Amino acid sequence: MILEAYRLYIFGGLVALLALVEFIFPIYSGYKHRLERWVTNFGLSFLSIVILRVSFPFLAVGFASWAKVHEVGLFNYFEFDGYFATILAIALLDMGIYWQHVLAHHWPLLWALHKVHHSDGQMDLSTAVRFHPLEIIFSMLFKFLMIGLIGAPAVAVLLFELILSSGALFNHSNIRISKNVDKWLQFFVVTPNMHRIHHSDIQVETDSNYGFSISLWDRLFKSYNANYDADRQINIGLKQTAKQTNYKILWCLKFPFKK
């Protein structure tokens, strides 16, 4: 599968492109400790990938292929395939990830892990990959559950994973978008201004805008909180970590277990 073979190159190319646009059109400027933050955030991502590769015989796309062979899941049981099945599976997987994100904010055990993501006091594309490895393991198990229930085709899972990672990089990016363009975009996708609200240190704002790629689920399930203004001042991060040095990998790994 061509996309699978070039997946890492697609991800790396998007990181480079968004980093360039961030540099030219930033929302926030004068970031401190940028290098340390990027080393920490991408370091956490690399550590999670290694743990997943060691812990599981296959990941999401491989599990979808296994489910197909063993006729596991609704689509496989009824032999439902083709373009419509692929599109529907992508939509259902994306909705599932929306609800996983909601759960991460309302289940204390999972929030203890997820708050590592929110502890980043600055927000740029590197924040998109700042997750505790234990949360990444939980997310993979959650994807297995969704794939197993749906019987999602492997190509749908691959496209979903690409859309999810690309959307997360984009909506966490520090890219300034004009108000008029942003209003139009938010009818369809999650933009940086829309997702900045979710990273506010005010809880009522944090508990909104859970989507990673399309804005449909937030609108449909009444969690949408509009923000089109790049000049709106939003304090990013958690109040409890505002004065802490939280751009070290060891700090991030230990943070969920601190009282």
The pLDDT tens digits of the residues spanning 214-243 come to 999 999 999 999 999 999 999 999 988 766
What is the extent of the structural domain holding 101? 37-248
Given a cut of 60, is residue 1 above it in pLDDT? no
On whether the CB atoms of residues 123 and 194 are closer than 8 A, the answer is no
4 within domain boundaries: no
What's the pLDDT tens digit per position in 5-28?
A: 688 889 999 999 999 999 999 999
**10 within domain boundaries:** no
Over 60: is that where the pLDDT of 77 sits?
yes
pLDDT for position 243: 66
Q: Give residue 138's pLDDT.
A: 97
Alpha helices by DSSP H, listed for 25-107, are 34-55, 60-69, 74-77, 83-106
Q: Is residue 258 part of a domain?
A: no
Residue 137 CB: number of other CB atoms within 10 A? 16
Total number of residues shown for the chain: 259
Of 258, 213, 227, 219, the C-alpha closest to 240 is 258
Question: Is 5 inside a domain boundary?
Answer: no
Q: 241, 201 in Cβ contact below 8 A? A: no
pLDDT at 201: 94
Which stretches of 107-178 are DSSP H helices?
A: 108-118, 133-150, 154-172
In a domain, 255, yes or no: no
Residue 254 belongs to a domain: no
Confidence of residue 3 (pLDDT cuts 50, 70, 90): low
Longest dimension (CA), the chain: 55
- Work out how many domains the chain is built from and give that number: 1
The reply to whether 7 falls in a domain is no
Q: Does the global pTM surpass 0.85?
A: yes
pLDDT for the residue 30: 79
The band of 2, judged by pLDDT with boundaries at 50, 70 and 90, is low
Distance CA 12, CA 203 (A): 33
Kindly state whether residue 189 falls inside one of the protein's structural domains.
yes
Strand boundaries in 68-115, DSSP class E:
none
